[in-house]
């Protein structure tokens, strides 16, 4: 089996903005206590889920939903870029998939609740969302059908839980139909690390199937599936009514609020998260 991975959307602008996060506060005219807000790009499933849950997404006077993320936010195009920015900026705050969390940054409690698998299962940790696989019903290739069957198996469930996510479908033992040809998977950068491990496990049973993974964001993956460019889309948000695809819930994931390891902030309220990301709170001293 051949596996090709394509990472899309890590722009020069994203790299420049990472550097901005490391700038000296005094030279920028901001105080040493100012909060440097780090967010994902438009079209990111993680951003869509985050702004929905925290209330950063609100209806305007015309009844239209508007993302009120502060214009001062440092925008990054991947989970890795968000972590790198926060790692190198003691005043930064960001959000990432819980399954991607590492010790280069620290997770901040939300309303005193630690982001963990147990707290996601018991619903005490409020920042959680599904990982979805989306596809056009009736247009699946033999490889896509067989892979979806694998995703609902015991083998996939074990891998999902091992990687720090919550498996929804414990499934049965998997038997492959040995498909040949190509399988194209496109979408969420948050789902990609888990998907790569699932593809590796599945691919060991299917040497004649070439699998390509494009890590280009949830919205781009959904568009690819709708256009028939990709067999399967990875999404870290719920689909919109106009995105008429079938979905399979692969796992549940938390959205971790992250800060620099030198930060003294250990917990933040859900209300304060909204205020920070809409620009109403700009100093760490105001955070509760």
Fold of 10-128+255-286: D-Maltodextrin-Binding Protein; domain 2 (3.40.190)
pTM: 0.79
Euclidean distance between CA atoms 101 and 55, whole angstroms: 23
Average pLDDT of 2-27? 46
- Report which of 85, 170, 177, 98 is spatially closest to residue 131, judged by C-alpha positions: 98
What values do phi and psi take at 234, rounded to 5?
-100, 130
pLDDT confidence bin for 288, thresholds 50/70/90: confident
Name all contacts of 225-231 with Cβ < 8 Å and 24+ positions apart: 225/134, 225/135, 225/136, 225/186, 225/187, 226/136, 228/136, 228/139, 229/184, 229/186, 230/184, 230/185, 230/186, 230/187, 231/135, 231/140, 231/141, 231/143, 231/144, 231/183, 231/184, 231/185
Domain(s) labelled CATH 3.40.190.10 in the chain stretch across: 10-128+255-286, 130-253
Lowest-confidence segment of 3-12, 98-107, 116-125, 148-157 by average pLDDT: 3-12
Q: 34: which residues sit within 8 A by CB, 6+ positions away? A: 25, 91, 282, 283, 284
**Residue found under tokens 């409690």:** 109
Q: Which CATH class is domain 130-253?
A: alpha beta
Tens of pLDDT along 162-211? Answer: 988 999 877 889 999 999 999 999 999 999 999 999 999 999 999 899 99
Tell me the torsion sign for CA atoms 113, 81, 283, 64: negative
Quote the pLDDT of residue 93: 98
Strand partners, 128: 254
Over residues 27-45, mean pLDDT: 83
- Which pLDDT score, from 0 to 100, does residue 4 have? 62
CB 185 within 8 A of CB 171: no
Please provide the average confidence, as pLDDT, over all residues in the chain: 90
Between CA 18 and CA 25, with CA 23 as vertex, the angle to 5 degrees is 135
């Amino acid at each position: 089996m051949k596996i090709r991975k394509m990472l899309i959307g890590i722009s020069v602008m994203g790299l420049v903005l990472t550097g901005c996060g490391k700038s000296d506060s005094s030279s920028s005219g901001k105080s040493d206590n100012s909060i440097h807000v780090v967010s994902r790009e438009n079209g990111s499933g993680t951003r869509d889920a985050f702004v929905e849950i925290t209330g950063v997404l609100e209806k305007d006077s015309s009844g239209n939903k508007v993302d009120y993320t502060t214009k001062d936010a440092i925008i990054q195009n991947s989970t890795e870029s968000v972590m790198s920015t926060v790692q190198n900026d003691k005043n930064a705050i960001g959000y990432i998939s819980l399954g991607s969390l590492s010790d280069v940054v620290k997770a901040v409690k939300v309303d005193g609740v630690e982001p963990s698998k147990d707290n996601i299962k018991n619903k005490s940790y409020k920042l959680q969302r599904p990982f979805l696989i989306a596809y056009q019903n009736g247009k699946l290739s033999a490889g896509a059908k067989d892979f979806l069957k694998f995703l609902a198996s015991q083998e996939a469930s074990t891998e999902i839980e091992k990687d720090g996510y919550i498996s929804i479908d414990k499934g049965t033992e998997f038997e492959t139909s040995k498909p040949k040809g190509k399988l194209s998977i496109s979408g969420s950068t948050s789902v990609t690390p888990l998907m790569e491990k699932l593809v590796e496990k599945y691919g060991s049973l299917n040497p004649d199937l070439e699998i390509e993974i494009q890590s280009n964001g949830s919205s781009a993956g959904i568009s690819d599936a709708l256009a028939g460019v990709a067999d399967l889309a990875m999404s870290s948000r719920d689909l919109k009514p106009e995105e008429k695809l079938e979905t399979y819930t692969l796992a549940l994931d938390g959205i971790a609020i992250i800060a620099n390891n030198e930060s003294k902030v250990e917990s933040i309220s859900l209300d304060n998260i909204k205020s920070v990301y809409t620009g109403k709170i700009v100093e760490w001293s105001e955070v509760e």
